Amino acid sequence: MNAPDFYSPSRQFRRALTRDWRLHSIELLCGILYPVIGFYVGHRVGQSQVYPVIVPFLVTAAFLFYLTRRLCLPEVKRSSVFCYFNLPQDRLMALDAHVAFLGMASLWLTVWVLAGSLLKLGGAGFTACYRWHPDFVMVPFFTTALTIRHLYLKHGMAFWRDSVLWYLLLMTWLVWRFYGIIEQPSRSVNNYWPDRSLSLTTEWATAAIMAAVAVWLVHTTRIQWRQRQIGGIR
């Protein structure tokens, strides 16, 4: 293999992604426990035939917040500056590998939430339906994007102003949606199956907006992170 092939963008990306896998695959494997635990947190057994799958995604988002910090802090704290300074590679390759790894981790844990729903974890044999809400499915992805933004951008006044707005918006929406679903009363007209607090179409539209905003946050972070680097981190 010649030098141009060895340092081609595709091979650089694969090496960076392989490094992340070797360093954090055990944490990702152990992370399977978090969606499982989420099915038993705050669940009222025997209250309804419908179990809204909410808490497993919130617990998964908390784990991904931790994992994102573990992956990204070495670059942000400059502990890997000299390593990247001496490598003839694209400045954004490490960040792109982190984003890819975290995206796969989010999908991997979402699959385990699905498996827990199929196995009816936390239902004590009573719950007849495990109801997913598309907007809550996006919470781990959105949390990961916000964490990446928080770690890589300069923390000036404009950053904190925008951050407070993002965090308040997310927390207000979470509280409103969580209690709107949990407190939805069961009705005898539909065999005591509580309705959704929002229509499924609205939930899908919200999920699409959250996905688009998450992609935009990562994209703008990549641009500003590149501008901060000339041979190393300034």
Query: Residue 201 falls within a domain, yes or no?
Result: yes
Write the pLDDT tens digit of every residue in 68-104: 998 888 777 765 554 555 555 666 788 888 999 999 9
Query: Residue 140 falls within a domain, yes or no?
Result: yes
Residue 188's pLDDT is: 59
Indicate the residue type of 106: S
Query: Residue 233 falls within a domain, yes or no?
Result: no
How many domains does one find in the chain? 1
Query: Residue 155 falls within a domain, yes or no?
Result: yes
Query: Residue 41 falls within a domain, yes or no?
Result: yes
The rounded percent of the chain whose pLDDT value lies above 90 is: 35
Burial of 219 (0-12, 13-18, 19+ CB in 10 A): exposed
> Token match 């152990």: residue?
30
If pLDDT is split at 50, 70 and 90, which confidence band does 233 have? very low
DSSP-assigned beta bridge partners for residue 130: 51
Write the pLDDT tens digit of every residue in 114-144: 999 888 888 766 777 888 999 999 999 999 9
Residue 191's pLDDT is: 62
Q: Which residues contact 95 (CB under 8 A, 6 or more apart)?
A: 72, 75, 148, 152, 221, 222, 225
Write the pLDDT tens digit of every residue in 156-186: 898 899 889 999 998 999 888 888 877 776 6
Write the pLDDT tens digit of every residue in 7-36: 676 777 888 888 888 888 888 888 899 999
Q: Which domain holds residue 72?
A: 3-227
**Mean pLDDT value across the chain:** 82
Query: Residue 103 falls within a domain, yes or no?
Result: yes
Residue 58's pLDDT is: 93
Write the pLDDT tens digit of every residue in 42-53: 766 656 678 888
Closest CA to 41 of 69, 62, 27: 62
Cβ atoms of residues 17 and 23 within 8 Å: no
pLDDT surpassing 80 at residue 187: no
Q: Which residues contact 91 (CB under 8 A, 6 or more apart)?
A: 84, 225, 226, 229
